[in-house]
Structure 1
Amino acid sequence: MNILLTSTARRIDFVQFFQEALKDAGMDGKVIVADPEGNAPSLQAGDVNYVIPHQTDSRFIDAIFNICRQHKVDCLVPLNDWEVPKLSAHKEELTQLGVSVFAPDPEIIDRVRDKGKYRELLKTFDVMAPRSYIRLEDAERALENEEVSFPLIVKPRNGSASIGIEFVNTVEDMKFAYQHAARTIEDTPLNDVTNKKPEDNVIIQEVIEGEKFSVDMFNDLDGNFLASFIRKQLDMRGGDVDRCITVNTPELVSIAKRTGENLGHAGYVNADVYYDGTDYYVIDINPRFGGGYAFTHQAGADIPAAIIALAAGEEINEDWLEQDSDIELARHDIVVPIDVQKVSEEFK
């Protein structure tokens, strides 16, 4: 079995997880790694490594198809928010090539990428989301009516990696942040993955203070819910969770199950959920295999093994779908030499 991981960046651990899962399954195959940056550390770890065009480049999809054909790829797992919509749009053609794509369908991606409609989406699952306003006038009216109060957060509706996020405490700051967010969107890949004008792709949202959790939901290729993994965030670094503890809070387990079942997505989805002492609020939903999974893997789960089994049409070991609770975990950095001989630029 040949597995293609895309936009792997620094995630050497993910590459190794899949390599170990293939070995444990007793399967012949390769873990093929692709990233737009030739000096990405993960390109030193794959069995085959490619520099490919960025997802904003018209040649991106051609590169993916070329790799899949040349290596007879059985399974594709994207690791970056921005590439998922383009890969999802070509799921049918990839499936015809024999590639199992572990990414949601386009309509599901559209739903979870639009933070401005989370309350509308999630209330049907009996899940809460913060109040959000798409127009400045609506936010000003909500403030006047004391529906919300400062501080508020201004951010892109389809945001990623904390781009364009600002906390505001006055109406003047809110107006400035709104225009700044629109300009930021126009100058980033966020503008490439939406049909909305930049000024229509900004939301103003109430701030939820309290404990923060990462909630992962894993479904099979038909969208059937299989598992959830929950981690309480303890420290952040550069927008990523740096330290956490695994938990099995019943309310969060229930939220994850309801959300995973109702979304019906294929593959892995990650959500940020905040607890204000009374209620849990879904702040963000990312339609891809999130980097925080590395903590869950160290706590006993093995989703790469489950992905390989699903792609091969084999049974899943239930132990792969469970993490030990109350395990505190922290990230650390490693250094790798960059050997350009390990990386092909055939698809650049």
Structure 2
Amino acid sequence: MNILLTSGARRIDFVGFFHEALKKANIEGKVIVADPDYNAPSLQAGDENYVIPHQTDEHYIEAILTICQKHNVDCLVPLNDWEVPKIAAHKKELQEQGVAVFAPDQSVVDSVRDKGNYRQLLSPIGVKAPKSYCSIATVKAALANDQIAFPLMIKPRNGSASIGVETAHKIEDIEHAYQHAVNTVKESPLDDATAKEAENNILIEEIIEGDKYSLDIFNDLEGRFCASFIRKQLQMRGGDVDRCITVHQPELVEIARKMGEHLGHAGYMNADVFFNGDDYYVIDINPRFGGGYAFSHHAGADVPSAIIALTAGKAVKEEWLTTRPNLELARHDIVVPIEKTFSELHPSR
């Protein structure tokens, strides 16, 4: 069985997780890694490694299809926000090549990538999201009517990696923060990742204060809910969770189940959830395998083994879908030399 991890970036640990899962399943195969940066650490860890066009490049999906055909790839697991819309758009084509695609359908991707849609998306299942507004005029009217209060967050509707995120503490800040977010989006790959103009891709949202949780939702290839993995965030570094503790809070478990069943996505999805002391609010949904899964893996989960079993049409073991609660975990860095162990694949050349 050959597994393709796209946009591997720094996630050497993920490559190792899939190597271990193949070994435990006694299945011969390769873990193939692709990334647009030649110096991505993960390109030093795959059995086959490819430097490909950027996720927003028009030739990105051509490179992915070429790798899948060349290596008879059995399953594909995306790891980056920007690539998921293109993989979802070409999901049927990949499936026709015999690839099990652990990514949502395009309609699901579109719905969760638009943060301005969360209240409409989640309210039918009783899950809350912050109040949000898509124009300066509407948020000023809401402020005047005491429907919302400062501080406010200004961010892209289809954001990634905290690009273009601003905070406004008074009315005079809003227009400056809004324009700065627009300019940041125009200068980033986000501008190529949506059909919206940058001016129409900004959201003004109430800030929910309180404890923050990472909520991972794993469904099978048919979109049936399988499991959730929940971690309370203790410390951040560079936009990533640096320390956390695993939790099994019933309210969050129920939110994950509701979202998994309602969205019906294939594969992995990650959400950020805040608890303000009274209610839980979903503030972000990422339709891909989140980097925070590594914490849950070290707490006992084994989703790579579940992915391999689902690809092979075999049963998923319950032990792969559980974690030990109240386990505190922290990241650490490792250093790898960057050697020319990859192939360059740029169809545009």
Q: TM-score range by the shorter chain?
A: over 0.9
Residue 343 of structure 2 corresponds to which residue in structure 1? 344
Residue 155 of structure 2 corresponds to which residue in structure 1? 155
Residue 171 of structure 2 corresponds to which residue in structure 1? 171
Residue identity matched to 2:344: E
- What whole-Å deviation, never above 9, does each CA across 1:14-39 have from its counterpart, x for those lacking one? 00000000000000100000000001
Q: How many correspondences in the alignment?
A: 347
Tell whether 2:132 aligns with 1:132: yes
Tell whether 2:286 aligns with 1:299: no
Moved more, 22-31 or 58-67: 58-67
Query: What secondary structure does 1:314 align onto?
Result: coil
Distance 2:192 2:220 in 1: 29
Greater than 6 Å deviation, 4+ residue runs: none
Residue identity matched to 2:342: V
Distance 1:50 1:238 in 2: 26
1:347 CA displacement: 3.9
Does the Cα contact within 8 Å between 1:50 and 1:347 map onto a contact in 2? no
Percent identity of equivalent pairs: 65
1:184 CA displacement: 1.3
Residue identity matched to 1:270: N
Residue correspondence of structure 1 range 224-239 to structure 2 within 5 A? 224-239=224-239
Distance 1:315 1:121 in 2: 31
Moved more, 95-104 or 53-62: 53-62
Residue 249 of structure 1 corresponds to which residue in structure 2? 249
Question: Tell me, which stretches of 5 or more residues in structure 2 are unaligned?
Answer: none
Distance 1:112 1:60 in 2: 22
Residue identity matched to 1:343: F
- What whole-Å deviation, never above 9, does each CA across 1:271-323 have from its counterpart, x for those lacking one? 00000000000000000000000000000000000001001111111100111
Q: TM-score, structure 2 length as denominator?
A: 0.98
Query: What secondary structure does 2:143 align onto?
Result: helix
Residue 68 of structure 1 corresponds to which residue in structure 2? 68
1:339 CA displacement: 1.1
1:104 CA displacement: 0.5
- What whole-Å deviation, never above 9, does each CA across 1:62-92 have from its counterpart, x for those lacking one? 1111100110000000000000000110000
Distance 2:117 2:59 in 1: 32
1:57 CA displacement: 1.6
- What whole-Å deviation, never above 9, does each CA across 1:221-279 have from its counterpart, x for those lacking one? 11000000000000000000000000000100000000110000000000000000000
1:217 CA displacement: 0.2
Q: TM-score, structure 1 length as denominator?
A: 0.99
Query: What secondary structure does 1:76 align onto?
Result: strand
Residue correspondence of structure 1 range 70-149 to structure 2 within 5 A? 70-149=70-149
Residue 327 of structure 1 corresponds to which residue in structure 2? 327
Residue identity matched to 2:190: L
Residue identity matched to 2:117: K
Let me know the Cα RMSD of the aligned residues: 0.8
Residue 198 of structure 1 corresponds to which residue in structure 2? 198
Distance 1:228 1:69 in 2: 33
1:59 CA displacement: 1.5
Residue identity matched to 1:85: P
Residue identity matched to 1:191: D
Does the Cα contact within 8 Å between 1:132 and 1:205 map onto a contact in 2? yes
Does the Cα contact within 8 Å between 2:115 and 2:158 map onto a contact in 1? yes
Does the Cα contact within 8 Å between 2:272 and 2:285 map onto a contact in 1? yes
Residue 215 of structure 1 corresponds to which residue in structure 2? 215
Distance 1:3 1:279 in 2: 40
Residue identity matched to 1:305: S
